[in-house]
Amino acid sequence: MAKVNQDWRVLRHGPIERLQSNLWSVTGTLPGMSLKRVMSLVRLGDGSVVIHSAVALDDGAMAEIEAWGKPAVLLVPNAYHRLDAPAYLSRYPDLKVYCPRGSRAKVEEVIRVDGDYDDFVGDASMTLEHLDGVRKVEGVMTVCSDSGSTLVINDAVFNMPHGRGLPGFIFRHVTGSTGGPRVTRLYRMMAMKDKAAFRNHLLRLADTPGLVRIIVSHHEPITDDPKAVLQRVAEAV
């Protein structure tokens, strides 16, 4: 299981991307890996901020977030995305922490959890649901903005280009993680328990009204015809 940071450890990361008036995103790095990770931030109607898949940022970026809204909710999207969760709770001790039900035991090894995704009460701009077919170890966040809807999916879908060298070989030929939007070979082995239920849920998500974007927790968002892309990913499961 992945280690965690108790202290605020800032790794190399990009600038905050303001995708919508209520949706921001930041791409960061992982120690000793070429794998990029993505944090999503949602500003609810009351001005509070929901943090999905936390990444410790530098002081300037954190000041921007705090000026935008009060960090109030931390979502730990599975047991492998715990790295900076303890540091966030230490920095913001009033955070309410939620994670998927099937990952709760592992997440609670490193951080207090206040509830699972079914317990979260947001507002009309943001909802959470568990993902079918994977024992509720992951979920999906849907964000509604003025110009359309965004799905935030964790490890269930990757959108990672082919890389070079030994890491590129491993991601391409061993874990089956690279080469565009896909469900990785590793995810099929470790998480997927009911392929039909998983595929059908992805197809339902593809029909999300006004879908303009899919954010995945590693590498690039899907913005070019996300409905058709998600349908192709689902049918290939």
Answer yes or no: is 1 within a domain: no
| CA-based end-to-end distance of the chain | 26
CATH number, position 99? 3.60.15.10
Higher pLDDT, 184 or 161: 184
User: Residue 11 falls within a domain, yes or no?
Assistant: no
Prediction pTM value = 0.94
pLDDT (0 to 100) of residue 164: 82
Joined tokens for residue 4: 């965690």
Query: Does a structural domain hold residue 89?
Result: yes
Residue 8, domain member (yes or no): no
194 inside domain: yes
- pLDDT on residue 14: 97
Q: Which residues of 32-60 are buried (b: 16+ CB within 10 A; e: fewer)?
A: eeebbbbbbbbbbeeebbbbbbbbbbeee
Let me know if residue 138 belongs to a domain. yes
Domain annotation covers residue 2: no
What digits encode the pLDDT tens for the residues 62-89?
A: 999 999 999 999 999 999 999 999 999 9
Which domain covers residue 28, as residue numbers? 17-235
Q: What is the pLDDT of residues 88-125, one digit of tens each?
A: 999 999 999 999 999 999 999 999 999 999 999 989 99
Determine the pLDDT at residue 127. 96
The answer as to whether 73 is a domain residue is: yes
Q: Is residue 28 within 8 Å of residue 13, measured between CB atoms?
A: yes
> Quick one: pLDDT at residue 170?
78
Does the pLDDT of residue 2 top 80, yes or no?
Answer: no
Number of domains in the chain: 1
